[in-house]
Amino acid sequence: MSKKTSTIYTLVEYANPENLKHHRTQTEDEYLISYNDNDSHIELKESNSLVEDEYCLSLESAKYVVEGIRDNKKSMIHHHTKGHEFKHLQFKLYAKKEEIRIFLDILDDEDYILCIKGFLHISQDLIAKENKNLLNYFFNENIKSLANERRHLLSKISEASAKGQITASDKSVDKKKLLELQKETHLKPFFE
């Protein structure tokens, strides 16, 4: 078990407080906003381990395509002590049974927090693709101030792409596969 070094909280500052929920256990502290209707489910969640050096900010969406079939997608920026220890973006495209990782060259905690805030800003686009009317449900006015952090994250993603630090199902992505990934609606905002 790796020793806990710090805790990151960003969602509280940019979330709509009316819909933000807080859950804390002995091992984890979590803030989340969840939306459900008959056709879809969207959840934005920030979790911190209270015992290990682990953090995750994730956006998960599930849209009911036909009865019994859902199109689930999950985006996250995180780090943990198991498996891939580098700070990275991760995307799960459940219908394609694919996991995409973008390993970020993070210089320090301040740089990582800029990337996390950039992820939050991009999350607006993903939520708007599901339902434009939900932006105020998830976010407060402060979210608009994160345009520079978005550009910072996009530059980190561009650097990772140039260095070959993008994988799909744990295999390096070639240019053809990268072009295919850039067309995926859940990934597109991360490659602008």
DSSP result, 34-103: EEE-SSEEEEEEEEEESSSS-EEEEEEEEEEEETTEEEEEEEEEEE-SSS--S-EEEEEEGGGTEEEEEE
Instruction: Reduce the DSSP state of residue 180 to 3 states and report it.
Output: helix
pLDDT at residue 140 in the model: 97
**Does position 191 have pLDDT exceeding 70, yes or no?**
yes
- 141-156 pLDDT, tens digit each: 999 999 999 999 999 9
User: To the nearest 10°, the Cα dihedral for 144, 148, 154, 155?
Assistant: 180
Instruction: Reduce the DSSP state of residue 109 to 3 states and report it.
Output: helix
Among 2-16, 22-36, 163-177, top mean pLDDT goes to 22-36
pLDDT at residue 2 in the model: 47
Q: How far apart are CA 170 and CA 158, in angstroms?
A: 19
Q: What average pLDDT does the structure give for the chain?
A: 86
- 52-107 pLDDT, tens digit each: 888 899 998 876 545 554 567 778 887 766 666 677 888 887 667 788 889 888 77
**Does position 132 have pLDDT exceeding 80, yes or no?**
yes
Considering only 19-28, 29-38, 67-76, which range has the smallest mean pLDDT? 67-76
Instruction: Reduce the DSSP state of residue 166 to 3 states and report it.
Output: strand
